[in-house]
Chains A and B, each alone.
Chain A
């Protein structure tokens, strides 16, 4: 019997998700033995035409990482959708928009203006910025169109499953691959990770008090962090309570608070809003001025609460500056 065909593809992402396959260590051999790759940009030399040549739904499963922010990414996502039986949104960016999704606080012009003009390391005397089409004497050069907004994968194509994380941890990757190969799959639309919040497995939970706890909010570089005490109890914003479990507390174990890469549980509509609501509830002050002082100490609140999930949130983007 022919091996099932598998695609790996990257869109608006850092490449870490593709690398994460390597984290499977010796298990990667089992994967390679079991499947046939049809595209895997970080590791193998396949072209778009190789994918186009396949029959519809010929690919058993496509793992697509990264959000969608260019015309080409949208095209590839749609192509892979057409050619695949199953599409998995792989990693935080495909799932929620991810860190690149924070660009939704700006628009394309603001981004280009900074990146190609104002950034301190840029020298651009001819004021050249990327254009979809540039005429040179040999003909026209093209670049994919750059969108105003970063989209999650499921805002562009139908997605069957989500593998969360920045990047997804090896145990969840392996479990997902095994489930797909064996056909032992949960209902469509499931996130392939536990559905409790991170506190469930957090070693620091016993140190968390039962009553309102936050008297002042501090950032990680401002304090010597107690490696055993609940971050919230230390006045450090930890998204753990509003974030899905399953990452193995990689950040917490490195004495860094959770930033929410796994997204919320299935029961929550908007991770950032929910965390904000929880945080507001545990600020230990009754006086309005004091509350204002405490909340004012959160630097870049939107960026903190929506670190990974802005495009997937109810806000999606800053509204009044979108060009298209």
Chain B
């Protein structure tokens, strides 16, 4: 406001150093003229120039000269601060001057290299110098701070990526908390029979890893668990994990299975995508690890899940009070009675577990695009249409058909059609290629050949996406099988599935304009991979960004593929984007490496100096700033009735400072006065 309360500008003895940067700067700027001009500025005590200040000789000169001249503040006109601000701050520190009583002027990139005419470049340089000299007078000494850091790690998701990261970190001596929302580990891969391209047995491949995860002394595995809250920052996170009650004591249970044989409740098994049944107390599949059953309280007769349903029914008047009492009192104890080891505990409760960690690896995997939104494929209408994951289960020894190629009605199909790119590479749905569907489609063909060699396979594809050193050979080998027919369409999305005379019929035109009508007993869709359901929730909780397709966004596409916008939080596997197991495991190893490099036991973490602060004598507690902070660094002090910046969490982004309507929040090193002084210096 023009009205009132102006502070006087501090007097300061400023030393100004010009660097010619070899000839990079002096070639296009008249340094002598700049030196003359700068000497005329009010607060400038002395002006010097040097040929190359960032050289060892230059740095020594600078340090010695500062010790000799004892300036209050220093301006260095050289290259971009991105390159050497840190260098010169260190020199100042060595020379006994606070490194924040220093302003750098970018004469090289912003002037010498950008403005071609020497005299206008010199004039432009003058305005920059004036700005820096005006600004530096208002700068304040700032102290760097360090804090201890925790080197334990939270890994979210126990699929191939999460397990790999957890194991690598555990082997390096880090304590790892591995949180898995399911009762079992292994992720999607636990559902596969064999994996491409070498047709390796998936369970043989994964089980040793899973076993290691279960038994590693540095890994605390939390199954049936979800991360609920994460506070803090690199080196100092506090996480709260809700561990759902499983009602079976894992220390007593030996996994004999006597309990689920006795359970009277049968429901659909979601692990098999409802293609099989399970009991209320169950393991999702034979061989699941950890081999400890859990009670699904939503279907168990005695649990709250059900009594909630009854309560709701009572509230809605669907059942009488008496019926409600009867249902509620239902006291089935069959599983407990069947257990010889007294492992069943109906009193088990959800618990919230709090852990402190220094870093987080997120490996929450993927789901499939729901093909029922594409009516042309008849998924959900014709029972003979399956998704790829459902088909994986049918082919699995532990699946609903024990690995026999049988459809829901128990028949063996005579022909199977596989459709690629369902919901993929299409602007209206998912515009990306998931990169693995071609390969697992080939795997399906190979498994059909193995399980039921007489079955005919039709493969509707658009382009082959089979990069890498083994995959082309895999494709070529399958092309030799006489029972497979490849149909090259421009767009598999345009291959409608219809039912004719009890059989599915697929019609399309191929790229050479040939018409195809294929009759098939069974259709397998290869839908796009999409982020797991929890991705959005976790993104809010962890404050990590997502890309437009909903996967977690990497720090840099090429150079920081497992970093996120949050220091100390890394991503791996399909939560970052569609990929195969190999890619997921490689990313997991990268993320583990990032954690090991970022958090070293005994090493302290430097905190940001340039944070925001709120003047507690000025803040009126208007609360505008609190919800804005992207780092949750501002809280209300309920005693003083002011907003307070936690300078450990604050990254100095300045959002609160811009928004603070009473001007009570300020950015260290970027105060309003400093910025205005700079602007006025440029414009004078």
Contact = CB atoms under 8 A, between A and B. Distances in A.
Interface of A: 89, 95-96, 152, 154-155, 159, 161-162, 164, 189-191, 195-200, 205, 208-213, 240-242, 245, 263-271, 274-275, 277-278, 280-282, 309, 312-313
B3 A152 contact: yes
Interface string B652-684: 000100111111101000001000100000000
B114 interface: no
A198 B620 CA distance: 7
A264 B1 contact: yes
B619 interface: yes
Contact of B2 (A154, A198, A205): A154
Nearest to B655: A281
A242 B620 contact: no
Nearest to B636: A210
B4 A190 contact: yes
Interface of B: 1-6, 615, 618-624, 626-628, 636, 655, 658-664, 666, 672, 676
A164 B1 CA distance: 12
A267 B620 CA distance: 13
A11 B626 CA distance: 42
B390 to A, nearest CB: 36
28 contacts: A159-B3, A189-B4, A195-B5, A196-B662, A198-B620, A199-B622, A199-B623, A205-B621, A210-B636, A212-B627, A241-B624, A245-B620, A263-B1, A263-B3, A264-B662, A265-B618, A265-B662, A265-B663, A267-B663, A267-B666, A267-B672, A268-B662, A268-B663, A269-B672, A271-B1, A277-B658, A278-B624, A312-B1
Given A266-B1, A274-B660, 8 more contacts: A89-B3, A199-B623, A208-B622, A241-B620, A242-B662, A265-B664, A269-B1, A274-B663
Nearest to A208: B623
A275 B3 contact: no
B2 A152 contact: yes
Nearest to A152: B2
Given A196-B619, A209-B623, A241-B624, A281 B1 contact: no
A240 B626 contact: no
Given A211-B626, A281-B655, A281-B659, A266 B620 contact: no
A280 B661 CA distance: 11
Given A154-B2, A191-B3, A312-B2, A267 B621 contact: no
Contacts of A267: 615, 618, 662-664, 666, 672
B659 A278 contact: yes
A278 B620 contact: no
Contacts of B660: 274, 278
Contact of A200 (B621, B626, B636): B621
Contacts of A205: 621-623
B676 A266 contact: no
Given A277-B658, A281-B628, A281-B655, A270 B1 contact: yes
Nearest to B2: A312
A264 B661 CA distance: 8
A196 B640 CA distance: 14
Contacts, number: 124
Given A277-B658, A278-B659, A281-B659, A266 B624 contact: no
Contacts of B626: 210-211
A212 B4 CA distance: 32
Contacts of A198: 620
Contacts of A312: 1-3
A213 B622 CA distance: 12
Contacts of B661: 197, 241-242, 268, 274-275, 277-278
Nearest to B627: A211
Contacts of A213: 627
Contact of A266 (B4, B627, B666): B4
Between B618, B622, B626, B676, the greatest number of chain A beta carbons within 10 A of the residue's beta carbon is seen for B622
A274 B665 CA distance: 12
Contacts of B5: 189-191, 195, 266
A196 B659 contact: no
B631 to A, nearest CB: 15
B663 A191 contact: no
B668 to A, nearest CB: 15
B628 to A, nearest CB: 5
Nearest to B635: A210
Nearest to B664: A267
Contacts of B666: 267
A154 B3 contact: yes
Nearest to B672: A269
A265 B660 CA distance: 11
Contacts of B1: 96, 263-264, 266, 268-271, 309, 312-313
Between A152, A200, A263, the greatest number of chain B beta carbons within 10 A of the residue's beta carbon is seen for A200
A267 to B, nearest CB: 3
A267 B619 CA distance: 11
A93 to B, nearest CB: 11
B620 A200 contact: yes
Please name the 4 residue pairs, one residue from A and one from B, whose CB atoms are nearest each other, closest first.
A267-B663, A266-B5, A211-B627, A200-B620
A209 B664 CA distance: 19
A196 B615 CA distance: 10
Nearest to A263: B1
Contacts of A274: 660-661, 663
Given A155-B2, A211-B627, A199 B620 contact: yes
A272 to B, nearest CB: 10
A230 to B, nearest CB: 9
Contacts of B627: 209-213, 282
Contact of A196 (B6, B620, B636): B620
A210 B623 contact: yes
A74 B620 CA distance: 37
Nearest to A276: B661
A198 B636 CA distance: 17
Given A264-B663, A265-B663, A197 B622 contact: yes
Contacts of A196: 618-620, 662, 664
Contacts of A264: 1, 662-663
Contacts of B628: 212, 281-282
A270 to B, nearest CB: 7
Contacts of B659: 277-278, 280-282
A266 B6 CA distance: 8
A198 B661 CA distance: 11
A187 to B, nearest CB: 8
Contacts of B3: 89, 95-96, 152, 154, 159, 162, 164, 191, 263, 312
Between A266, A269, A312, the greatest number of chain B beta carbons within 10 A of the residue's beta carbon is seen for A266
A242 B619 CA distance: 11
A264 B623 CA distance: 17
Nearest to A266: B5
B620 A197 contact: yes
B397 to A, nearest CB: 48
A314 B232 CA distance: 39
Nearest to A240: B622
